[in-house]
A and B are shown apart, each in its own frame.
Chain A
């Protein structure tokens, strides 16, 4: 982006208007693997821009591609046209200058990765599992994203970060899955990944059905992360809080979860792909959502903050979204129990690798349904002893989390639906499976 972009933009405005300009450049390199071969390598270059104009308490917004002064002019005209049509007051104001809480840095090993080198690394990973008669299907995606925000009120923020996300399903007679996410290339160790998934594939051949009913489960982090994500959709944003549909609504300072539940949003965690400022130019804050079972807060953008008589926490999504503020870097704190002891604590139970096709059954109770997938094992005396057929579950997330009896000390970073979560393994008694699938 040219350094004079803001000057060009702001010159076009009539007196009395204020404005904000946001631009985001994304470069994606995605490799899809199927049947131990690269199915396709794809590269996508995106540039999204938003212009907001402000006057008399109303705003106008426009979005599009900006490559030239002509494009900026077009967006400004669109935003002014939108402003003229707007009838409702807005709580959003142009961002002032501020100190940002951290400064993410893109990993050059992600930015400059050679697709030929990636193909070699994948080839090595495939060679590890192929000798066992297994097949690798998966996706290896890296992104480098740069975001800049300028405003007539003095903000001029730039940040850039990178992410690498690899997931693989290894299949033979059975199926196993593993996934790694990080902001650094070094954390992506493909041999470890395929050995984890491959081991599950080998051990999950010839699964046997269990009778539907309630079982003690050990949920691996991907499964915990899926449930936490769906709880977050319902409850961690200011919009649902203000509407009264969040389990946190009106209960700040009160006991809402079990004592061992601590959940926060922490964009500054360098293993998360958090931004130091949001799409309204507000520096992001660490937000404690639930602390030792006590409701502490939700995340806000300027609109939900005004309605809640609170301050924005820097969690606004892109202009035009219909979702409201959302925490994208959620950390459920682990417990004190080392992972081996977590397993040892379960005499009879089921180990769940991941959950699939979750959908709400009763959102007011955070009740969901879904199935297990790619690595479900019966546990006897603390050890996975045999593969079991995949099953459908129906559970209230909140009730299941509150029934949990152990959280592992170890945590993992999980990427799902554009959010990053850091979560532990979890032991939940009486987890309800309704049918074998």
Chain B
């Protein structure tokens, strides 16, 4: 890396902010980011690998004549920063030639501060062999279960550092470490093969913190249970089809919240900015305070201040301090995920959700940590109201329309609910629904002791596409009259025309 640390960054930042000025320049900011990562992978055939890398770069964002320009480079020095800053100003001028309304930024109090996510045990300070052994030993727990054909797993650690400075006076440094642990347990073979992802799918367990988070998460009995489920799935019957009460486990609730509450409440999407790619939203601002998004049990906040979760940060990439913001209260739409530009357009304070994936990208409205507030139900309560229904856990696949009005999710496993207890296991469960009908059908949310938070490490949005990390928290919740099917079956639908 050709960067020399904080002192040189301060010099670059001041150089750029002093260089880009003029009567038609309304705002300038610069973000310098650097990241380092290491990944470890292993499987029970004896394969072990380790990889690592690092990268850095910066971007300058200029608001000129009411329009944005952004220029980024991975060469971090003063000359390149001046070049990029001037280019960003030229690009903003070009943007202003085709403008519908000048950008109006919601106000923010400038801050000179540092925010570092708490870490007890720095994973980068631990020996590679120790980490690989930890991974291999974890896989070994699963592989010892009778009937398991193979287990593969990975651990990844990322350190992200960012310096943000704006022409309004903000100087903010942030640092987080993201640990991740995932395991895939396979049973059976060929078309009958089944897998259980542990502790969950799509990246497994991801959060902010140190190795202590991984150490405390890996528990022998939980791994053995997941392995046992993989074996049972190979002979399990397909999921029954029809309309049932369904209890979703927290890891599936996470993606359900992400896709059908988080995305439709991104304010840039609501305004149509994403119409060409990610899509738009049914949740238009006229519905604020009116739209019955869910049942009265649905209370949702965006909250990057929740400690240790993947979506945690101190400030967004507009320099706005993180805080909990209500999105849905008692089932009614109350707010959006916004940045200074979109909040300014709506005439509300920013929710601190303007984030860029890295230095290559300018910030757009993104989820941080979206939380369904816990309710009062115990597990027994949840099951008691779902007799004849199903529990579903761990997402396998999903698809959702571009206005976020309907969805289809598939899970790794389902269990029947019989006599108020979890019964036999089913394979290949899937459910579909319409967003508002689904959330309105929620008639129980688990209590705080059942709450879990799961990370989504690679949420895609934007053009050029940006992949960013978010998290969602929830207790298990119960929904009535859900359309359930067994995935992967080609059915005998009649000809429609």
A contacts, CB < 8 Å to B: 28, 30-47, 61-65, 67-68, 70-71, 74, 82, 85, 87-88, 115-116, 118-120, 122-123, 126, 135, 137-139, 141, 167-169, 171, 175, 177, 210-215, 320, 348-350, 356-362, 364-365, 367, 369-371, 373, 378, 390, 392, 394, 396, 399, 430, 432-435, 437
Interface centre among B275, B397, B405 (most CB of A within 10 A): B275
Closest chain-A Cβ to B1's Cβ sits at a distance in Å of: 7
Known interface pairs A44-B73, A362-B488; A119-B94 also in contact (CB < 8 Å): yes
Complex contact A358–B399 (CB within 8 A): yes
Question: In chain B between 297 and 313, which residues have their CB closer than 8 angstroms to a CB of chain A?
Answer: none
Interfacial chain A residues near B48, Cβ < 8 Å: 87
Complex contact A437–B406 (CB within 8 A): yes
Interfacial chain B residues near A39, Cβ < 8 Å: 68, 95, 273
Known interface pairs A35-B100, A361-B488; A41-B73 also in contact (CB < 8 Å): no
Cα separation A138 to B274 with both chains bound (whole Å): 8
Say yes or no: is B495 at the interface (Cβ < 8 Å to chain A).
yes
- Give the secondary structure class of A's interface: strand
Partner of A357, one of B88, B399, B430, B495: B399
Known interface pairs A38-B99, A65-B55; A169-B362 also in contact (CB < 8 Å): no
Known interface pairs A42-B72, A42-B362, A435-B432; A138-B488 also in contact (CB < 8 Å): no
Q: Which residue of A lies closest to B60 (CB)?
A: A43
Q: 4 closest A-B pairs (Cβ-Cβ)?
A: A213-B496, A362-B488, A139-B463, A115-B94
Cα separation A370 to B70 with both chains bound (whole Å): 34
Cα separation A104 to B361 with both chains bound (whole Å): 28
Q: Which residue of A lies closest to B409 (CB)?
A: A359
Partner of B94, one of A41, A168, A210: A41
Complex contact B496–A63 (CB within 8 A): no
Cα separation A46 to B70 with both chains bound (whole Å): 14
Complex contact A214–B75 (CB within 8 A): no
Question: In chain B between 178 and 220, which residues have their CB closer than 8 angstroms to a CB of chain A?
Answer: 191
B contacts, CB < 8 Å to A: 1-2, 47-57, 59, 67-75, 84, 87-88, 90-101, 128, 191, 271-277, 279, 360-362, 397-402, 405-406, 408, 410, 430, 432, 463-464, 487-488, 490-491, 493-497
Complex contact A392–B94 (CB within 8 A): no
Closest chain-B Cβ to A234's Cβ sits at a distance in Å of: 14
- Give the secondary structure class of B's interface: mixed
Complex contact B71–A371 (CB within 8 A): no
Interfacial chain A residues near B52, Cβ < 8 Å: 82
Complex contact A362–B487 (CB within 8 A): yes
Cα separation A362 to B193 with both chains bound (whole Å): 12
Cα separation A367 to B398 with both chains bound (whole Å): 13
Known interface pairs A85-B128, A116-B93; A123-B98 also in contact (CB < 8 Å): yes
10 contacts between A and B (CB under 8 A): A40-B95, A42-B464, A44-B59, A45-B71, A46-B360, A64-B54, A65-B56, A432-B490, A435-B432, A437-B406
Closest chain-B Cβ to A33's Cβ sits at a distance in Å of: 8
Interface centre among A44, A356, A433 (most CB of B within 10 A): A44
Complex contact B70–A390 (CB within 8 A): no
Interface centre among B48, B276, B400 (most CB of A within 10 A): B276
Cα separation A437 to B97 with both chains bound (whole Å): 38
Known interface pairs A43-B71, A214-B495; A361-B487 also in contact (CB < 8 Å): yes
